[in-house]
Structure 1
Amino acid sequence: MQEIIQNEVVDKALPGDSYRHLIYEYLTKLGVSENTAEYLNMLGLLLILIIVVFIIDFVIRKILVKTFYKFASVSKTNFDDLLVANKVPRNIAHIIPLLIAMEFTPIIFRDFLNFDGVIEKGLQVFAIILTLWIVRSFLNTLKDYFKTLPRLKDKPIDSYIQVFMIFAWVAGFMSAIAIITDTPFVKFLTALGAASAVIILIFKDTILGFVASIQVSINDMVRIGDWITFEKYGADGDVVEINLATVKVQNFDKTITTIPTYALISDSFKNWRGMMSSGGRRIKRSISIKMDSVHYLTKEQLDALSGIQLISTYLEQRQADINNFNNTHNIDKTKLLNGRNLTNLGVFRKYVQTYVEKHSAINKDMTIMVRQLAPSAQGIPIEIYAFSSDKRWANYEYIMADIFDHVLAAVPYFDLEVFEYPSTLKL
């Protein structure tokens, strides 16, 4: 059978033909049968080729990687360092050994066409995989490099690279199948069109994520490093990664929440970037005053409050205006209800307004307001609305606590009471 196959083969002069029967000739001289000698000759040459390929691969890899290391150490840019870190030189070094293997394989399997076809297809498939490895490592290098650039480090580079690699792997997979089945790539691609509906169904999330990542990037909705709050997914923290399928948020308790990328355009979430890029972080908190503690101020009480430095000038001017109005209109002041009067709640509100305006940690160029909200069963809310100059979370909380510590301690000086639910004692 072997002789029939050999007779059907058209002899072609290939490099190394003069050496490929050395082992065969040596074995036949030792009395080994021709059929056995042919197989042992093939296996011997294959072993030699494998050893040579591994040695060449090792030497080239060492030389190439060492050369890149030396070049990276003297280079000013970090791009070459990232090439080494992502194993680009290491992967490129495999090209020459692969070419050597593809060149000498036909010589080794010249007399074994069945084996030759399988090995050649295997090497071609490996060439496709090696190409994808090189492309992936180079793209990872670009990704890491772009993240070091200030204008690109907050962009979803991962998404674009993942999309490209998905198409590359699909194309590589289809090429490998076409090689294995001996089907022209164009025909294989045409036949694959019939299964397009299934492919779309399989890659539905990928397609949605790709479209979403483009919209997120174009509309600048989310960047890496943004603080977002997404109540539906329980996310409240900084965005640490944006890729094709998911957005990873590191919450303030150091847990990680994973959000589908397309949820950023289909659902509502809060991005705190505007606050972080502004001049301050908002303080919006209130205390509730008991209604029955609110009353008009008598002259004696006004005299006592005039000793408070922050509002002494205000009380003097305000009381002068009120007395002038009441005298002009002949108001009977035997009852405090008549005419115009100051209340302890109004004076307290003015005191808090002045205190917040003069606080060193409050941004004076942004809104500062102390307002009275609608009364409720829990009393009258007095809300402080201002912006702290320091936006860091710990410092912001300290500033807000410092203000309300003072305000709560100041309430009794105005003969007011803070509302709180009565405690219930268990016997």
Structure 2
Amino acid sequence: MLPFKDWLEAFDPSALYALGFGLGALLLALAIVTLISRRIALPALLRFAKMSSIAWDDILVEQKVLHRLAALPSLLTLQLGITWVPHLPPALSEAVRLICLCLVIVAIARSISALLSTFNELHRRFSVNRDRPIKGYLQVVQVLVYCVAGILIVSFLLDRSPLILLSGLGAMTAVILLVFRDSLLSLVAGIQLTQNDLLRVGDWIEMPQFNADGDVTDIALNVVTVQNWDRTLTIIPTHKFLEHSFKNWRGMQLSGGRRIMRAIHLDLGSVRFLDDEDIAGLRTIRVLRPYLDQKLKEIRDHNEKTLSEEFATESINQRRLTNIGTLRAYIGLYLREHPGIHKDMTFMVRQLEPTPQGLPLQIYVFTNTTVWTEYEAIQGDVFDHILASLPRFGLRAFQAPSGADISRTTEALQPLRQLPTPEASKAAASASP
């Protein structure tokens, strides 16, 4: 192979016309191919995709698969045509051919990557299993495609077999594992999350370690994107889902009911037995009258059976109704008739252990909707009604003293402060004549 200087000195001027004609023909062919592929074929395919009723060709256009393939005819024309130009320096011809070959490999790799993105979009939109994303797997394939493209390009530039380069990768395994550590961990985590159905796009999750509380919007190879309820986005590495615990609310959403577990703290000083006047007043409550009639009969029969005349007159020996027990029964009956409460799930109104903040009366039921706004509305209606009903049962909700309570107490004690002390009275008596 002659150097370019030697080739120029040995160049026959008569061959100049042949060289110019060859380059001109190549450029003309390249212009025609580019015109056909870029200006005629590509716009025609885009119009056809826009007019067709099927959806997958629209996604091909969105992912620019056709745009990337449109570069191949021009590159292949230049790669093949450069070898037919007469009297061109072999080194220059080989360099142009190798550059075109590398660009062809890059264009094919980018087209395959766009095609994989198209497949992912088709799966996300139309598959019955779109709640099980495949984006992570496709991203792995995309990485492999670009790796293969890089190996082929280096092998062609060095004029060596790709197998030689692949055999040399064994020595680079440690470096690859170090560089792609997070990607490999995330790939394994993504497989486990998907195969065990632990996470889906659209799931409501809580992950306090990362301040994440919202819906999963995307599951990729390296990260999971969560849109929080305040519309902020939390980006969590995929492998962190196997290192940390998280709460998935999907089970609640699929069950059709969401739990209400809230307690009202009652003032222990307001708990007492009910007398006849109290019972007569409570019998006017529609849902409570059958309960009271049945309970009074049960208590009367029990007292007559177990108490002798000697002890029957003492009220503490008798079995009696209490205001808190009657309130528990009323809340249960009220919730049974509430249209927003699920009747077939766990249903309890129970007392918890007394605390310095009073006696907790806990409501443990489920709503018949999982929509957040509807759930909060039902819960608010229930506790509004219960809190407003407490005085009817002679009960008070416990509340720590506020500043207004302390001010009223101080004002009530003010007249006592103005009274003379015993020492002041003695001094005044001794001073008087």
Aligned equivalent of 2:318, options 327, 339, 364: 339
State the distance in 1 between where 2:28 and 2:367 align: 70
- The structural deviation recorded for 1:175 is 1.5
Aligned equivalent of 1:139, options 98, 105, 116: 116
Matched, 1:95 2:72: yes
Root-mean-square deviation (CA, aligned residues, Å) is 2.6
- The structural deviation recorded for 1:258 is 0.9
Matched, 1:418 2:418: no
Cα distance change, pair 109–372 in 1 and its aligned pair in 2 (3 A): farther
- The structural deviation recorded for 1:221 is 0.4
Aligned to 1:83: 60
Q: Structure 2: which amino acid aligns with 1:328?
A: K
Aligned equivalent of 2:196, options 216, 219, 229: 219
Aligned to 1:117: 94
Q: Secondary structure at the match of 1:381?
A: strand
Matched, 1:130 2:107: yes
TM-score (norm 1): 0.87
| Structure 2 counterparts to residues 184-203 of structure 1, below 5 A | 184-203=161-180
Cα distance change, pair 92–399 in 1 and its aligned pair in 2 (3 A): same
Paired residues of 1:230 and 1:270 also in contact (CA < 8 A): yes
Aligned equivalent of 1:388, options 367, 373, 390: 367
Q: Secondary structure at the match of 1:315?
A: helix
Per-residue CA deviation, residues 60-116 of structure 1 (Å, 9 max, x unaligned), is: 234333443454355443111111221222222222211110111123484322222
State the distance in 1 between where 2:120 and 2:324 align: 60
Q: Which has the higher helix share?
A: 2
**Equivalent residues, number:** 402
Aligned to 1:262: 239
- Give aligned-pair identity as a percent: 34
TM-score (norm 2): 0.86
State the distance in 1 between where 2:348 and 2:269 align: 25
Aligned equivalent of 1:405, options 384, 404, 408: 384
Matched, 1:177 2:169: no
Cα distance change, pair 3–420 in 1 and its aligned pair in 2 (3 A): closer
Q: Secondary structure at the match of 2:215?
A: strand
Cα distance change, pair 111–159 in 1 and its aligned pair in 2 (3 A): same
Matched, 1:352 2:331: yes
Runs of 4+ in 1 over 6 A off after TM superposition: 6-9, 20-23
Paired residues of 1:296 and 1:336 also in contact (CA < 8 A): no
Q: Structure 1: which amino acid aligns with 2:98?
A: K
Paired residues of 1:326 and 1:339 also in contact (CA < 8 A): yes
State the distance in 2 between where 1:220 and 1:22 align: 75
State the distance in 2 between where 1:185 and 1:58 align: 35
Cα distance change, pair 55–378 in 1 and its aligned pair in 2 (3 A): farther
State the distance in 1 between where 2:302 and 2:260 align: 37
State the distance in 2 between where 1:373 and 1:58 align: 82
Decide which moves more: 90-99 or 404-413.
Answer: 90-99
Aligned to 1:379: 358
Matched, 1:252 2:244: no
Aligned equivalent of 1:363, options 342, 345, 352: 342
State the distance in 2 between where 1:365 and 1:110 align: 90
State the distance in 2 between where 1:231 and 1:109 align: 71
Matched, 1:168 2:145: yes
Cα distance change, pair 338–137 in 1 and its aligned pair in 2 (3 A): same
State the distance in 2 between where 1:160 and 1:22 align: 60
Per-residue CA deviation, residues 320-366 of structure 1 (Å, 9 max, x unaligned), is: 11011111223534433212111100000111111111101112222
Decide which moves more: 333-342 or 259-268.
Answer: 333-342
Cα distance change, pair 215–182 in 1 and its aligned pair in 2 (3 A): same
Q: Secondary structure at the match of 1:362?
A: coil
Q: Structure 2: which amino acid aligns with 1:241?
A: D
Unaligned stretches of 5+ residues in structure 2: 408-433
Aligned to 1:276: 253
Q: Structure 2: which amino acid aligns with 1:336?
A: S
Aligned to 1:316: 293
Unaligned stretches of 5+ residues in structure 1: 10-19, 27-37
Cα distance change, pair 54–209 in 1 and its aligned pair in 2 (3 A): farther
Paired residues of 1:353 and 1:369 also in contact (CA < 8 A): yes
